[in-house]
Amino acid sequence: MPCPSFIRLSALYAILALASDPLNAANIEVPGDYPTIQEAVNASSNGDVILVGPGTYTGEGQRVIEVLGKSLTIRATDGHTKTFIDGEGVRGCVRINNSATLNLDGFTIRNGFADYPSTYPYGGALWLASGEAAIKNCAMIDNFSGSAGMGGGAIAGFSCIADFENCLLADNSTMGPFGGAAAFGFAVPVFQNCIIRDNVSSANYGAVFVDLNAGGIDSSVVCNNSGSQQTYGPSFSDDSILSGDCEASACGDLDGNYFADVNDVLILISAWGTGGPGLTSADFNFDGVVAVEDLLYLISVFGNDCTPLGACCLQPGWCEENVSEAYCDANNGTWYGPGSDCGQCF
Ligand SMILES: [Ca+2]
Ligand SMILES: [Ca+2]
């Protein structure tokens, strides 16, 4: 006969297995099963997937969606161009707290408004407090937060885990000092393949502010946000772009043969209307879509030689700048990489 502690342990395992068993997770459809996303959240259990059809979803009270401490996936079946979570300029869009875990995929989150007298006047699109969020394929535009806290027009997060992949954050603003797009404290947010542009804060760091110098911006573009510096905190990967304006400036080579040629036009056309709202390689003007402006830009740089140039150290004290790696190799030099100068050679 098993001892009582074994029985208790077995019961605990059974409960844990039930809670995390994907076979017990349900798919809930909106508007099929419930007319609003919030009603679907209310009826859901941990692990459920809420599949949201095209439409504009608004709400009542302080937030369009309160995740209520649950672990959920909320996915738009037809993507961000057809599915909108809309705060209508009077309420915030999504609140994640009480250790909630949310996977949110494929929405445009817009017109969120977070300010006093709301109990949670932070983050017009997303307020994350003691929770975990993975946000994919979402556009957050035209969201606002007032002067409460640090700022964070679209996103405010505190003591949370937050990953953003393939997202657009544009035209958000805050009356708070920092983070027109996003502001975080005690968090390590990561933005990957994202476009963060045209956001405004009242003091500095118009794009992203992360307290304690944490977080990362990987394979992303940050451009034309307010303030003398656009970000504070996150590190930038080598392939990210930080620019004062969002003007197209790429050489035009998409297939890596170092020429802007017909193959690149074919790649652009094959990407037409796909990708986004985050960064895709043929989106030269960083607006989250591959469209006619990108084709016109590629035509304007057609024929460009895109061979990367840098410094070549031929022997100590003898160096040439703005030469190719092939030239450097042919002369038995050491090439220092794209955009390098001769400083290391002397
Ligand atoms: Ca090419
Ligand atoms: Ca574009």
Domain that holds residue 218: 22-243
Q: How far is the CA of 52 from the centre of ligand 2 (A)?
A: 27
Which of 243, 274, 299 is the C-terminal boundary of a domain? 243
Closest ligand to Cα 261? 1
pLDDT at 6: 47
Q: How far is the CA of 281 from the centre of ligand 2 (A)?
A: 10
Which of 211, 243, 275 is the C-terminal boundary of a domain? 243
Q: How far is the CA of 305 from the centre of ligand 1 (A)?
A: 9
The amino acid occupying position 146 is: G
β-strand partners of 259? 305
Residue 151 included in any domain: yes
Closest ligand to Cα 271? 2
Closest ligand to Cα 256? 1
Q: How far is the CA of 178 from the centre of ligand 1 (A)?
A: 40
Looking from the CA of 141 toward its CB, the CA atoms found within 13 Å total: 17
Domain co-membership, 175 together with 43: yes
Residue 35 to residue 161: CA distance in whole angstroms: 30
pLDDT digits (tens, 9 = 90+) for 57-114: 999 999 999 999 999 999 999 999 999 999 999 999 999 988 899 999 999 999 999 9
Closest ligand to Cα 288? 2
Domain co-membership, 152 together with 236: yes
Domain co-membership, 206 together with 338: no
Low-confidence spans in the chain with pLDDT less than 50 = 1-4, 6-7, 9, 12-20
Domain co-membership, 237 together with 325: no
pLDDT at 18: 46
Domain co-membership, 37 together with 111: yes
> Domain total for the chain?
2
Q: How far is the CA of 295 from the centre of ligand 1 (A)?
A: 14
pTM for this predicted structure: 0.89
Residue among 64, 36, 35, 29 nearest 50 (CA)? 29
pLDDT at 24: 76
Q: How far is the CA of 284 from the centre of ligand 2 (A)?
A: 6
